[in-house]
């Protein structure tokens, strides 16, 4: 059955791969990012494969902007009943160097953004008696040097997910989280630059520590999202799936 999906942070990386996968699964997809023009490649890829998509520009941390974006999606594609909260930023630094703005910005985009998007979309899910929310967490939720803000945000995504599962389950809505391990994206490239390591060397070193012997790709996460939003996953809710190429602890 064709549904309308919103994927945030979908201009590139995991978000783009997820939007493309959900469109391939037959859903109409709103490709949402801070700047709609940055989503052009993702939309073009989807439409080139015969799918339906359009770009939406919105700051997920802005309540009015979020509501306007959801209203626009509803008018263009139909009421959204699938939501993937992927939007995120990093402002890595050791605790004694981390500024209040570093902390606030990361928590705002990840957690406030997921809260605002979920609150806006759940109305349509409840009315439909069916819905899927997928939140992007991270193995950093378990703690990671230089990422006090990001780790806290990603741990918070797991708590948010479980609470949404409790509150929305009676309406046919599931909520699950995906916690990626090392994935080759612009974000991990930025981390390599921050610590002064060549990206190829950074990826190769990470792969040596991963049991399956390779770094993850955005499509690995998109595949997990595809399952969570499927009809068959209706009895799976409140779960955190670590997609990291091996055990995480």
**Distance between CA 29 and CA 218 in Å, rounded?**
17
Collect contacts of 167-172 with beta carbons under 8 A, ≥24 apart.
Answer: 168/122, 168/125, 168/126, 168/131, 168/133, 169/237, 171/125, 171/126, 171/129, 171/131, 172/125, 172/128, 172/129, 172/130, 172/131, 172/234
- Count how many Cα atoms sit within 13 Å of the Cα of residue 26 in the half-sphere of its side chain: 6
- Catalytic residue flag (residue 242): no
**Which two tokens mark 160?**
């948010």
Looking at the chain, the number of H-run helices and the number of E-run strands are 9, 7
Active-site annotation holder among 150, 182, 202, 242: 150
Question: What is the bridge-based pairing of β-strands 82-85 and 53-57?
Answer: unpaired
Max CA distance (Å), the chain: 51
**Distance between CA 23 and CA 226 in Å, rounded?**
10
Catalytic residues, which ones? 150
């Amino acid at each position: 059955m064709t549904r309308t999906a919103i994927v945030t942070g979908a201009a590139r990386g995991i978000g783009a791969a997820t939007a493309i996968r959900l469109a391939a699964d037959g859903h109409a997809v709103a490709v949402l990012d801070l700047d709609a023009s940055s989503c052009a490649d993702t939309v073009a890829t989807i439409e080139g494969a015969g799918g339906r998509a359009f770009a939406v520009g919105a700051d997920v941390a802005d309540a009015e902007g979020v509501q306007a974006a959801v209203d626009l999606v509803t008018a263009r594609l139909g009421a959204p009943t699938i939501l993937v909260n992927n939007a995120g930023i990093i402002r890595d630094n050791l605790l004694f160097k981390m500024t209040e703005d570093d902390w606030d910005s990361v928590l705002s985009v990840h957690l406030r953004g997921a809260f605002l998007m979920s609150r806006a979309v759940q109305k349509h899910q409840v009315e439909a008696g069916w819905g899927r929310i997928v939140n992007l967490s991270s193995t950093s939720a378990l703690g990671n040097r230089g990422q006090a803000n990001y780790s806290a945000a990603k741990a918070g995504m797991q708590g948010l997910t479980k609470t949404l599962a409790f509150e929305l389950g009676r309406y046919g809505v599931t909520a699950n989280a995906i916690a990626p391990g090392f994935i080759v994206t612009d974000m991990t490239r930025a981390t390599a630059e921050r610590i002064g390591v060549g990206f190829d060397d950074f990826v190769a070193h990470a792969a040596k520590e991963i049991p399956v012997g390779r770094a993850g790709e955005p499509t690995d996460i998109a595949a997990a999202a595809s399952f969570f939003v499927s009809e068959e996953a209706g009895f799976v809710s409140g779960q955190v799936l670590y997609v990291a190429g091996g055990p995480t602890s």
